[in-house]
């Protein structure tokens, strides 16, 4: 959108080391604070009873899209007194406005936020909460007689035939017999069609993208790094494949009407009526086609109003923290970060320092556990199980920590003398995942990158595959699997929730043998809840959740180093973990050095970003005509004339057409404060005697009794009330103008 206005511009320049003190120049007061500026505002035409002796400080209404009538007063900052090609204009915004942040996700580790900043609506991540799927029975492509024969369950005092068969009972737990449903981000607070930009931090925080972009009217931009896009595609494809390969004949819906009559944990389900069936591959492909790939430290212009830049967060391949900047403000969105040394590129601390607002989320889900110790326990459990003739089942995602597990286990199995036991990696995207991990060298740690430069594969799983130590298949029914399969072995497969994927078949196959063991390494799901529909279970269970995200000690140290002015965190981070309420160290610390703002699901918070300045660029031709005139030491004034152009949130001043320029050639401007003593002397010289003067704070009222007129002098204006006497009004106006300075 363009808005043009012919404007005569008052340029107020204070050159002190190449900068301009705008407020001092406009008020001409020696003790005014430096560095302030004046709002772009119209000079209001003289009314019959209103004479202005100063430029108004805030004539433009907040949020106004239209420019007031010209001409305008504007304040200018020059980078150098002799630099006429890069002149910038700094102008005050309307009175300080608070930008807003919305929380759309109830899970801080699957974040989704909305940030409104400088009229831009921005979504930060679109994580998908999958906790809801734990309430459903597992999907098995090989019919399970045990699951099929589970008894129906009905709430007491309910005889609705439509509810019959929707709920099944296993032990003391009730499950929904239906395709699983997911909890997408809240869509009641904001219309997704209004979202201008989506910034994705990592591939685990984009699983709700098809829910956001498809069928909602979304027309904005989506930014993510290359690994986030490519690996995120694998996760989305795997999830859709798992659900679609086991279709169910009917969908259970009536149970949601009786949620208050259902037992725990179904009765505590989070907003079940907002749960949705999973998207399909058409939705996935359409949403991914909207993503524009960006590199680390690449600055992207957002509609001229903001710039966004991803920096490495150290959590996984391509994971990012986002820096959002305007001309004078800086917001950092820190999500899924790690200071540990693993395979991704290390975290970039420098770019996220000294933010006005730091939004921190996606901290560790295992605050009491140490990733290194959990990895050690895992290796011991695997070794002991294999030496005892048992099999090891590791539910996992097809990327991320699993790469480190391949590397670590291959070494430990060699040390424990069980290297002859094969490892199987089973996923619809297994082959693609292994291939991508070895070609995304620029996103790896320096140690991994150096291997690429000497023609080695950065990950050892390439060598493991060549030596038949690691075998990968799309499914357990893929060609060659039954031939290569041998026991004892280690199987990596999905899904970690145990509700779909090949893991369902392996639990059914191995669950009754106590020599076998299932090892939980992913922290996203409660392992007891995940195993509930399979009980009673004979196989051993080991919980070795490995979460490399920042823990609270690391987060607090990082916050102290980054020195944000305001820190925004989920409310749960300000309280000890539920599992250990006495461990008060596992919280984000408050400090007098910054403002701490906690938030929770569905909440809208005000961010204390007081927008004080914006930029206006002056064309070289206009800037060359600036001729400063010193009015006092260090303060110079000049006038320029130009066209104020606003396009894509960028303000620029251009030269006027010659015909318009002639009409404004001889305009003079008054400035400064009205001196009461000088004004009274001028009145006496004009034959107006015995004025009555009264002072009320910053307001001076002069009553001319003989003329039946009233003059009210304020900081920014002078009002003349003379009962319609045009001759007297003109006379008094001229006296006021004589008392002001001109240029």
pLDDT tier at 398, thresholds 50, 70, 90: very high
Q: Which of 96, 9, 100 is nearest to 58 (CA)?
A: 96
Cβ proximity of 62 and 96 under 8 Å: no
DSSP state of 532: G
pLDDT tier at 36, thresholds 50, 70, 90: very low
Distance of alpha carbon 721 from alpha carbon 711, whole angstroms? 6
Distance of alpha carbon 640 from alpha carbon 71, whole angstroms? 11
Average pLDDT, the chain: 82
Q: What would the two tokens of residue 330 be?
A: 């800086």
Sign of CA dihedral 347, 350, 351, 352: positive
> Greatest CA separation found in the chain?
116
pLDDT > 60? residue 51: no
pLDDT > 70? residue 432: yes
Mean predicted confidence (pLDDT) in 683-709: 84
Q: What would the two tokens of residue 215 be?
A: 């069928």
pLDDT of residue 663: 58
Distance of alpha carbon 32 from alpha carbon 16, whole angstroms? 14
**The length of the chain, given as a count of residues:** 743
Q: What would the two tokens of residue 286 be?
A: 């359409």
Residue 496: cis peptide before it, omega within 30 degrees of 0: no
**Under DSSP, is residue 546 helix (H, G, I), strand (E, B) or coil?**
coil
Cβ proximity of 178 and 136 under 8 Å: yes
Cβ proximity of 608 and 397 under 8 Å: no
Q: Which of 314, 309, 364 is nearest to 343 (CA)?
A: 314
Cβ proximity of 115 and 189 under 8 Å: no
Beta carbons within 10 angstroms of residue 337's beta carbon: 28
pLDDT > 50? residue 16: no
pLDDT of residue 614: 72
Q: How far is CA 419 from the centre of its chain?
A: 45
How do residues 343-391 score in pLDDT, each as one tens digit?
Answer: 778 899 999 999 999 999 999 999 888 999 999 999 999 999 999 999 9
How do residues 207-233 score in pLDDT, each as one tens digit?
Answer: 999 999 999 999 999 999 999 999 999
Distance of alpha carbon 381 from alpha carbon 376, whole angstroms? 9
Cβ proximity of 38 and 92 under 8 Å: yes
Distance of alpha carbon 342 from alpha carbon 314, whole angstroms? 8
For helices 371-387 and 401-415, give the axis angle rounded to 10 degrees.
Answer: 50
Least confident of 26-35, 73-82, 187-196, 271-280: 26-35
Cβ proximity of 674 and 719 under 8 Å: no
Distance of alpha carbon 209 from alpha carbon 283, whole angstroms? 9
User: DSSP states of 477-522 as a string?
Assistant: TSTTHHHH--SS-EEEES-TTSSSSTHHHHHHHHTT-TT-EEEE--
How do residues 607-639 score in pLDDT, each as one tens digit?
Answer: 988 766 677 888 888 888 888 888 788 888 777
CB-based contacts of 429: which residues, under 8 Å, 6+ apart?
234, 235, 237, 238, 398
Q: What would the two tokens of residue 308 be?
A: 């966004």
Determine if the pTM surpasses 0.85: no
**Under DSSP, is residue 475 helix (H, G, I), strand (E, B) or coil?**
coil
How do residues 725-741 score in pLDDT, each as one tens digit?
Answer: 888 888 888 888 888 87
Distance of alpha carbon 278 from alpha carbon 697, whole angstroms? 67
Whose tokens are 């195993």? That residue is 531
How do residues 308-318 score in pLDDT, each as one tens digit?
Answer: 999 999 999 89
Q: Which of 323, 319, 268 is nearest to 106 (CA)?
A: 268
Domains of the chain: 2-94+612-670 (no CATH), 99-367+549-607 (3.60.15.10), 371-543 (3.40.50.10890), 676-742 (3.30.310)
In this structure, the dihedral spanned by the alpha carbons of residues 140, 146, 147 and 152, taken in order and rounded to 10 degrees, is: 170
Least confident of 84-88, 531-535, 727-731: 84-88
Q: What would the two tokens of residue 279 be?
A: 């998207």
pLDDT > 90? residue 417: no
Strands 330-335 and 357-361, by their bridges, are: parallel
Distance of alpha carbon 392 from alpha carbon 386, whole angstroms? 7
């Amino acid at each position: 959108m363009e808005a043009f206005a012919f404007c005569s511009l008052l340029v107020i320049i204070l050159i002190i080391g190449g900068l301009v003190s705008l407020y001092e120049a406009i008020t001409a007061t020696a003790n005014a604070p430096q560095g302030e500026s004046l709002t772009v505002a119209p000079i209001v035409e003289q009314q019959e009873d209103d004479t202005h002796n100063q430029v108004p400080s805030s004539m433009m209404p907040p949020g106004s899209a239209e420019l007031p009538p010209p001409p305008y007063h504007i304040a200018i900052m020059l980078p150098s007194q002799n630099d006429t090609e890069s002149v910038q204009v700094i102008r005050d915004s309307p009175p300080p406005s608070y930008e807003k942040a919305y929380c759309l996700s109830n899970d801080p580790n699957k974040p989704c936020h909305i940030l409104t900043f400088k009229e831009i609506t921005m979504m930060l991540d679109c994580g998908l909460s999958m906790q809801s799927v734990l309430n459903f029975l597992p999907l098995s492509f090989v019919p399970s007689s045990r699951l099929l024969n589970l008894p129906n369950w009905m709430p007491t005092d309910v005889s609705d035939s439509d509810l019959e068969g929707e709920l099944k009972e296993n032990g003391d737990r009730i499950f929904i017999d239906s395709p699983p449903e997911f909890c997408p981000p809240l869509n009641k607070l904001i219309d997704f069609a209004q979202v201008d930009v989506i910034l994705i931090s990592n591939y685990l925080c984009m699983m709700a993208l098809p829910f956001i972009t498809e069928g909602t009217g979304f027309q904005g931009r989506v930014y993510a790094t290359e690994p986030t896009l490519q690996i995120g595609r694998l996760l989305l494809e795997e999830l859709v494949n798992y659900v679609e390969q086991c279709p169910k004949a009917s969908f259970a819906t009536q149970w949601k009407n009786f949620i208050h009559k259902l037992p725990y944990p179904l009765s505590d389900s989070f907003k079940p009526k907002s749960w949705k069936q999973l998207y399909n591959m058409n939705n996935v492909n359409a949403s991914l086609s909207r993503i524009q790939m960006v590199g680390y430290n690449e600055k992207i212009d957002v509609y001229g109003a903001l710039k966004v830049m991803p920096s490495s967060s150290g959590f996984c391949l391509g994971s990012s923290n986002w820096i959002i900047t305007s001309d004078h403000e800086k917001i950092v969105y820190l999500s899924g970060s790690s200071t540990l040394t693993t395979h991704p590129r290390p975290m970039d601390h420098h770019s996220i320092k000294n933010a006005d607002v730091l939004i921190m989320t996606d901290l560790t889900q295992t605050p009491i556990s140490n990733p290194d110790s959990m990895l050690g326990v895992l290796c011991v459990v695997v070794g002991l199980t294999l030496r005892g003739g048992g099999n090891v089942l590791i539910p996992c995602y097809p990327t991320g920590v699993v790469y480190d597990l391949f590397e670590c286990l291959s070494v430990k199995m060699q040390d424990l003398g069980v290297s002859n036991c094969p490892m199987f990696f089973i996923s619809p995207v297994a082959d693609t995942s292994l291939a991508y991990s070895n070609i995304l060298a620029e996103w790896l740690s320096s140690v991994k990158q150096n291997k690429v430069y000497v023609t080695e594969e950065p990950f050892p799983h390439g060598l493991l595959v060549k030596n038949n130590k690691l075998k990968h298949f799309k499914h357990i029914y893929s060609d060659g699997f039954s031939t290569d399969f041998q026991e004892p072995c280690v199987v990596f497969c999905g899904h970690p929730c145990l509700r779909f994927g090949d893991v369902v078949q392996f639990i059914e196959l191995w669950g009754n043998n106590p020599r076998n063991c299932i090892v939980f390494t992913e922290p996203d799901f409660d392992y007891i809840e995940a195993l509930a529909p399979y009980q009673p279970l004979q196989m051993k269970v080991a919980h070795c959740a490995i979460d490399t995200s920042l823990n609270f000690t690391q987060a607090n140290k990082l916050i102290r180093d980054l020195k944000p002015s305001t820190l925004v965190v989920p409310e749960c981070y300000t309280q000890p973990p539920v599992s250990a309420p006495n461990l008060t160290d596992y919280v984000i610390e408050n400090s007098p050095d910054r403002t701490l703002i906690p938030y929770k699901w569905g909440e809208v918070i005000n961010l204390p970003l007081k927008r004080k300045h914006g930029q206006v660029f002056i064309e070289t031709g206009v800037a060359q005509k600036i001729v400063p005139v010193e009015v006092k030491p260090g303060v110079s004034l000049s006038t320029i004339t130009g066209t104020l152009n606003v396009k894509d949130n960028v303000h620029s001043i251009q030269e006027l057409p010659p015909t318009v320029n002639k009409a404004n050639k001889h305009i003079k401007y008054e400035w400064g404060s009205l001196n009461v003593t000088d004004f009274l002397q001028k009145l006496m010289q004009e034959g107006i005697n015995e004025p009555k003067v009264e002072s009320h704070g910053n307001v001076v009222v002069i009553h001319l009794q003989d003329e039946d007129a009233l003059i009210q002098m304020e900081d920014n204006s002078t009002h003349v009330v003379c009962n319609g006497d045009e001759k007297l009004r003109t006379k008094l106006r001229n006296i006021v103008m004589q008392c002001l300075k001109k240029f």
